[in-house]
Structure 1
Amino acid sequence: MGDVIAVDGKAIRSTSKKGTPHSALQILTVYLTQSGIVLGQKSIHEKTNEIPVFQQLLDNLNIKDKTVTADAMHCQKETCKKIIAKHGNYVFGLKENQKTLHDDVKFFFDEEFDSKTLDSYTTVEKNGGRIEKRICKKCSDIKWLNGYKEWAGLSSIFAVKRITTTNRGTSDETGYYITSKDTDAKELLHICREHWKIESMHWLLDVTFSEDECSIISENGQKTLNSLRKLALLLHKRYLAKQLKKCSIKANLLKCLMNSQLLCEVADL
């Protein structure tokens, strides 16, 4: 089933009120990255945000021995505390919402990234004319980090530098993270890549189903369709994974509309 549980929110843009884009219906999803199964989801309204909703979802999840990943918004002390209390682990990105922690970690890796004493792991992938190099550097000696004891279970900090080369040139960016998981740089890089799967799933909801353009007025209708779209993506992904020929999800959806036997094969997985 997999050990990484990714959490991410997505707004359905067509539901926003005129002149107030932040009023759009948002749905926070809990996603088991290896299997593609949605473990839970909850809607978010204007009067709240993802942070307390995520913490509420944690109360209803069995995350024992799992690693929970989320973007920097969820890098919160209370969230970390809840995850550790439920015998799970976390990997959270760092940004300006935790400015002091972010700046300290960034300064450390800016100075020490080339140090050979840090645990390091590198991957290089070629995709078409694009070459992506990822370098993960991890530090477990964090006693120098101001306030580290305030973060439940915090065991390591790490950085991932992504260097992309195309025919237009080379660009790079570095992300900074905290984690409670006691593991090496190779595994931490893998976990970061796993989190990308939920972002890919949200992207597919728009590309494959045009979710952002759905004009249904009923909020319950939007939430129901969102759940059904996620189920459809899961079934088509599983079906296509078993096929020798490459085919996009969107193309397979069209084939199912034209072929009831194929539709039954996909639905029977």
Structure 2
Amino acid sequence: MHLLGLAEHGGGLLDQVEVGAKRNETGHFRPLLQGKDLTGVVVTFDALHTVRSNLDWLVDNKKAHYVAVVKRNQPLLHARLAGLPWSRVATGHIIRESGHGRDETRSLKTVSCDQLDFPHAQQAVKIIRWRRDQTTGRVCRETVYAVTSLATTAATPADLARLAREHWHIEAHHHIRDVSFGEDGSTSRTSHGPVNLATLRAAVIAAIRRAGYLHVPESRRDHTTPAEAIRLHHLD
């Protein structure tokens, strides 16, 4: 059982749909968003959904914008982005952070470009992520390309860096559901069981965040009794 979810940046799960297998996700992109008011909203998604027809529909029909990650499943577009003269482009935004046992630096460059032969593309984006493990000293460097329908007048490099980071937080939500709540190991496979359980897990995580917790394992240790849970969520 595979679920495709829709979530707010910095918020909770809005909707989800059963898709059978991950390869079927792109066919559910429009149905999942169809009934939502997306006027002026920026939509982010996995590279799997960087599909011309879906993004054309998103901008023309839903009046939304997108930030679309481009990987090698779009080989021609990926090659065009990688071949842009990035060495002559100044870094538009850079941030350095430490936490969770690693040091991380993320730099972002943008190029205003309307010749990518991709629907409504206004800017090309290059993100370089550099990570160093504080224990082993191992260094990892990753380059990510993206395109966006947001023009330079609508989104600065700092805005695009924030949107990319917020999308990563949504990815982390799925990681929490698996690691802390064992979602991938769940034996519920039939009828509406998987969807209902996923909804409950998402609701629990949202409640934990509202209670002020940054780390889910810590919050689970504090929820030892029903009375304690009621007190933590100010329901007494």
What TM-score results when the alignment is normalised by the length of structure 1? 0.78
Aligned partner of 1:127 in structure 2 is: 99
Q: 1:170 is matched with which residue: 136, 139, 143?
A: 139
Specify the code of the residue in structure 1 equivalent to 2:202: K
Question: Which structure 1 residue ranges, 4+ long, deviate > 4 Å from structure 2?
Answer: none
Q: 2:43 aligns with which of 64, 68, 77?
A: 68
1:55 paired residue among 30, 54, 74? 30
Where does residue 17 of structure 2 map in the other structure?
42
| SS of the residue 2:74 aligns to | helix
1:58·1:82 contact (CA, 8 Å) conserved in 2? no
Contact kept, 8 Å, 1:27 with 1:41, in 2: the verdict is yes
- Letter aligned with residue 100 of structure 1: L
Taking a change above 3 Å as real, the CA distance of residues 217 and 171 of structure 1, as seen in their structure-2 partners, is: closer
In the TM superposition, what is the alpha-carbon distance from 1:80 to its structure 2 partner? 0.9
> What corresponds to 1:158 in structure 2?
125
Contact 2:43–2:65 (CA under 8 A) maintained in structure 1: yes
Q: How does 1:109-124 map to 2 (within 5 A)?
A: 112-116=85-89, 118=90, 120-124=92-96
CA distance in 2, matches of 1:137, 1:46: 35
SS at match of 2:180: helix
1:114 Cα shift? 3.0
Aligned residue type for 1:26 = H
Q: 2:174 aligns with which of 199, 202, 223?
A: 202
Q: How many residues align?
A: 230
Evaluate the alpha carbon distance shift between residue 87 and residue 268 of structure 1 in structure 2; reply closer, same or farther with a 3 A threshold: farther
Aligned to 1:84: 59
Task: Normalising by structure 2, report the TM-score.
Answer: 0.89
Residues 1:213 and 2:185 aligned together: yes
Per the alignment, residue 31 of structure 1 pairs with: 7
Query: Is the Cα–Cα contact under 8 Å of residues 124 and 147 in structure 2 kept in the other structure?
Result: yes
Identity of aligned residues (%): 24
Specify the alignment match of 1:21 in structure 2: none
What is the RMSD of the two structures over their aligned residues, measured on CA atoms? 2.2
- AA at the equivalent of 1:37: G
How far 1:258 moved relative to its partner?
2.0
CA distance in 2, matches of 1:268, 1:41: 28
Closer, same or farther: CA 49–139 of 1 in aligned 2, 3 Å: same
* Distance across 2 between alignment mates of 1:154 and 1:253: 44
Shift of 1:195: 0.3
SS of residue matched to 1:97: coil
Q: 1:227 to 1:264 in 2, by over 3 A?
A: farther
Q: Residues 29 and 41 of structure 1 are in contact (CA less than 8 Å); yes or no, is this contact kept in structure 2?
A: yes
Partner of 2:195: 223
Q: Provide the rounded CA distance (Å) in 2 between the counterparts of 1:73 and 1:42.
A: 16
Structure 2 letter corresponding to 1:205? R
Task: Give 3-state SS (helix, strand or coil) of 1:68's partner.
Answer: strand
Letter in 2 for 1:181: L
Question: Aligned to 2:223, what secondary structure does the other structure show?
Answer: helix
The unaligned stretches of length 5 or more in structure 2 are none
Q: Does the Cα contact within 8 Å between 2:113 and 2:121 map onto a contact in 1?
A: no
| CA deviation after TM superposition for structure 1 residue 219, in Å | 3.3
Contact 1:235 1:267 in 2 (8 A): no
